[in-house]
Amino acid sequence: MPEPMITAAQVRHIASLAQLEFDEEQIELFTRQLGSILAYFERSRATSRFPRSSETGWNPTSSDPRG
C-alpha cells in the first residue's frame, strides 16, 4: 500500500491554523479527501499537463463579470 500523501496529524495542524475543530471521523474523511486531491496534482505534475474541459466536463462560460 502506498504511503498516504497527507497524515491525520497534518490535517489536524491545518485545521488548527484555520481555527477549525473536527471530530475524529471528520479528520479521517478530510485526510482521505486531501490525500486524493494531492495525488491528483502529483499525477498531473508527472504528466506535465492538467485535464482539458472535454475530459472533466467542466466548461467555463466566455462571459467574464469583471469586464
Could you tell me the pTM of the whole model?
0.63
61 within domain boundaries = no
Assigned domain for 28 exists: yes
pLDDT tens digits along 33-55 = 999 999 888 887 777 666 666 66
Give how far the C-alpha of residue 8 lies from the chain's centroid of Cα atoms, to the nearest Å: 15
- Domain interval for residue 27: 8-48
Q: How confident is the model at residue 2 (pLDDT cuts 50, 70, 90)?
A: low
Distances (CA, A) of 56 to 4, 30, 44, 59: 25, 22, 13, 8
CATH of the domain at 42: 1.10.20
Count of structural domains, the chain: 1
Lowest-pLDDT choice from 11-15, 26-30, 54-58 = 54-58
In a domain, 14, yes or no: yes
Instruction: Quote the pLDDT of residue 61.
Output: 64
Grid cell digits, residue 10: 497534518
Residue 21 lies in a domain: yes
